[in-house]
Amino acid sequence: MESDPSRDISPTVIEHARRPRNNGVLSNFNGHACITGACGDIMEFWLLVEDDIIKRVRFISDGCGFSDACGSMAACLAEGKSIADAAVIGQQDILSALGGLPQEVEHCALLAANTLKAACDDYLANATHGMLAEQEERLRNTHALRQTQDLTSL
Ligand code: FES
């Protein structure tokens, strides 16, 4: 008798593969990453972060149904979390939340975790860059003010 290949797949995986949550593209975002996994499939994440909290998250994948399930679960786990907490969501967290995956496709969860982390890192790099630009602007203004004061004291 032949065994049913879907027999060992959790209902959560099937549900997220059929109806991925947060699937799509964000046009207004401040964190983004696109990664090609070892299998050749591509996953992409967009984040909208406000006050260090992930307000919106979207993903797309051109991979298998398992990668959709993993991207969906990673997005669900990340939404509403602080950027620091979302950045440490790992492959095992996604696998546990999905109720496990067949071993040969566990790498789909790694691709989702890596892409989510890269999007968090991108947000942090953008935020740091923005803070540095603000500091530079403040220093320039302070310097200009001093020069004006020096000139008026002549
Ligand atoms: Fe490549 Fe699922 S992400 S096989």
Residue 2 falls within a domain, yes or no?
no
pLDDT of the chain, 154 residues: tens digit per residue: 444 555 689 999 999 999 999 999 999 999 999 999 989 999 999 999 999 999 999 999 999 999 999 999 999 999 999 999 999 999 999 999 999 999 999 999 999 999 999 999 999 999 887 767 777 777 787 777 677 777 666 6
Residue 94 falls within a domain, yes or no?
yes
Q: How far is the CA of 116 from the centre of ligand 1 (A)?
A: 15
Residue 22 falls within a domain, yes or no?
yes
Q: Take atom 4 of ligand 1 and give the residue whose Cα is closest.
A: 64
Is the distance from CB of 71 to CB of 59 less than 8 angstroms? yes
Range of the domain at 82: 11-152
**pLDDT for res 6:** 57
Residue 118 falls within a domain, yes or no?
yes
Number of structural domains (the chain) is: 1
Residue 124 falls within a domain, yes or no?
yes
Shortest-distance atom of ligand 1 to CA 40: 1
**pLDDT for res 154:** 65
Positive/negative CA dihedral, 82, 88, 90, 93: negative
Is the CB of 63 inside a 6 Å radius of any atom of ligand 1?
Answer: yes
Residue 131 falls within a domain, yes or no?
yes
Residue 67 falls within a domain, yes or no?
yes
Is the distance from CB of 47 to CB of 123 less than 8 angstroms? yes
Phi and psi for 19 in degrees, rounded to 5? -130, 75
**pLDDT for res 12:** 97
**pLDDT for res 138:** 78
Q: Which of 69, 109, 117, 65 is nearest to 91 (CA)?
A: 109
Residue 56 falls within a domain, yes or no?
yes
Q: What CATH number is associated with residue 82?
A: 3.90.1010.10
